[in-house]
Amino acid sequence: MNARKLRKTYIDFFKARGHAEIKSAPLVPENDPTVLFTTAGMHPLVPFLLGEKHPAGTRLVNVQKCLRTGDIEEVGDTTHLTFFEMLGNWSLGDYFKEEAIRYSYEFLTDVLGLTQDRLWVSCFAGDADAPRDEEAAQAWRDLGIPEDRIVFLGKKDNWWGPAGETGPCGPDTEMFVELEQPPCGAECGITCNCGKFVEIWNDVFMQYNKTAEGRYEPLKQKNVDTGMGVERVAAVLQGKKSAYETELFAPLFRTITEISGQQNPEATRSGRIVAEHMRAATFLMGDGVRPGNVDQAYILRRLIRRAIREARMLGVRGSFAVRLADCVIREYGDVYCELKQNEGFIREEMSREEGQFSATLERGTREFNKLIESFPPHVDRKVVSGRKAFYLYETFGFPLELTVEMARERGFDVDTKGFDAAFRKHQEKSRKGAEQKFKGGLADQSERTTALHTATHLLHAALRRVLGDHVKQAGSNITAKRLRFDFTHPQKVTPEELKRVESIVNDVINDDLPIDSEEMTLKDAQDSGAIGLFGDRYGERVKVYSIGNFSMEVCGGPHAKRTGDLGKFRIRKEESSSRGVRRIKAVLE
């Protein structure tokens, strides 16, 4: 079964069981504190897992675009991906373990045709925070899974969430397919990563809320959150060892062969990196991200630059990025229409970034030549130090292999051990940075972040009053300390304009207006003048938050009860975010 059929079959299966299909949220979360990317289908649903009412009901299903950057350096092997699609079904306080497990089992066996003797499952073994999940195990037994294929594991393996430090989480049960290959040893089992067992589905029972103090409190609403990776399942169903061998990547590899002359690029590390990163980069641009030096923009830049370097290793010389982006748009455009809608933007940005980076690589080559020439002619040991090689990597994007090759042509060696040490030191630093960044936690629905979320709506409305209706939200990120709001506006906002915006927001806060929400159809929301990122992103029914008569915006919530709860609003910074987009950071004092 190909991925196209798999998506449709999955959605149809759950629709037939009362689930409403919801759109894939963008890869860059809206109004979501401190996460850079949507990494699972549950992200955009956090408020609803915590009890907000979802306009589409209590049973939901979708295909969600996800991006995980934790293993970005691992991409190149046959298993890691940054971008992937996740099939998910949710129960928001509706059905629970028995029904969720039965649905999963029926879908795997009756619909996908996986025979029971290939399936293994794992359940939570229990610890001081939560008991052993006998309920899940019993559901599997009742379906006929033999006892020796039900494995109990601890929190590391069988617990999901919270996505940040706090929020909904719970025990999960994972499903594995056993492949026809010999076990790697006596200890080989589902936790082994030799490739014999492939985890294909995860049913999470979100029955706890982890508090900032680290306590696990039972949620008033018990939810199910499931996730099944499209690429992985497609590979299993097609009898392929890796997602890279499926039709999802085939057009990319065909094009890579055309531009590099390299046969079977899918069998090489560089080929896989080029294909994987260009697919992820195209999807990010499809959601409006431009390459840059911070946050999402920086990750996008890293993906493209790494792909360009690896393409050089494959022998590609001219520009190629747009051709690969075209492949992605062709392959996915009818499922993710934003790729088609933003085709012009994607092609333009791809080619700009590629041009810029090629110039950097040229400067790096000159730098390298200077370095070699700086050695006295009769030096005994001709070695480029690890530090210098890392400098070329970090500043000019030279992969080590390229430096080694160029050095060898000039009769030099490279201290590769020294390079590895410098690389590890750098990685450790950026890992720490990333951890800092995620510390606030996705599901931080504290009073402070909720108040800042409401302040974001006020800021948005005030900016439109002062600057004009061309102002549209281009991004939002909230931590417990500040809000950050990106919006379209062609020039710098003047200090006078900022003052006016600030005082309008504070006037509305002083007026102590009530904040109400109402569900309506998307059309009614538009007709009544609610602002929001319409396009294709919302479902049929939406929730609209009104702040007195001042602001009306499509949004999932949650929000403060009254503007008087907010405190004093102060703009701390106004700067450029990218071309045509300004960024404001503001706080509530």
Binding site for ligand SER (CB under 6 A): 40-42, 88, 160, 202, 204, 225-227
Pick between residue 223 and residue 262 the one whose CB is nearest to ligand SER: 223
Cβ of residue 260: shortest distance to ligand SER, in angstroms?
35
**In a 3-state reduction of DSSP, which class is residue 528?**
coil
Minimum distance from residue 51 beta carbon to ligand SER (Å): 18
Using the minimum distance from each CB to ligand SER, give the nearer residue, 41 or 440. 41
Q: Tell me the residue nearest to ligand SER as measured from the CB.
A: 227
Q: Give CA separation, 498 vs 70, 478, 484, 511, 571, in Å.
A: 37, 20, 15, 20, 8
CA separation for the pair 96, 93 (Å, rounded): 8
Q: Which is nearer to ligand SER, 206 or 404 (CB)?
A: 206
Closest approach of ligand SER to the CB of residue 81, in Å: 13
Minimum distance from CB of 101 to ligand SER (Å)? Answer: 14
User: Nearest approach, Cβ of 69 to ligand SER (angstroms)?
Assistant: 15
Q: Which is nearer to ligand SER, 202 or 450 (CB)?
A: 202
Q: Report helix, strand or coil for 92.
A: strand
Distances in whole angstroms, Cα of residue 245 to Cα of each of 82, 241, 261, 269: 16, 7, 19, 13
Q: Which is nearer to ligand SER, 34 or 578 (CB)?
A: 34
DSSP states of 18-83? TPEE-PPPPSS-SS-SS-SS--STTGGGHHHHTTPPPTT-SEEEEEEEEE--TTGGGBTBSS--SE
Shortest Å, Cβ 205 to ligand SER: 10
Three-state secondary structure call for residue 432:
helix
Sign for the CA dihedral angle at 313, 316, 322, 327 comes to negative
Contact of 523 with 531, CB cutoff 8 Å: no
Q: How far apart are CB 163 and ligand SER at their closest, in Å?
A: 8
Query: How many angstroms separate the most distant Cα atoms in the chain?
Result: 80
Q: How far is Cα 11 from Cα 157, in angstroms, rounded to an integer?
A: 27
When the beta carbons of 39 and 477 are compared against ligand SER, the nearer one is: 39
Residue closer to ligand SER by CB (options 160, 283) is: 160
Length of the chain: 589
Residue 323's nearest CA partner among 273, 269, 251, 265 is 251
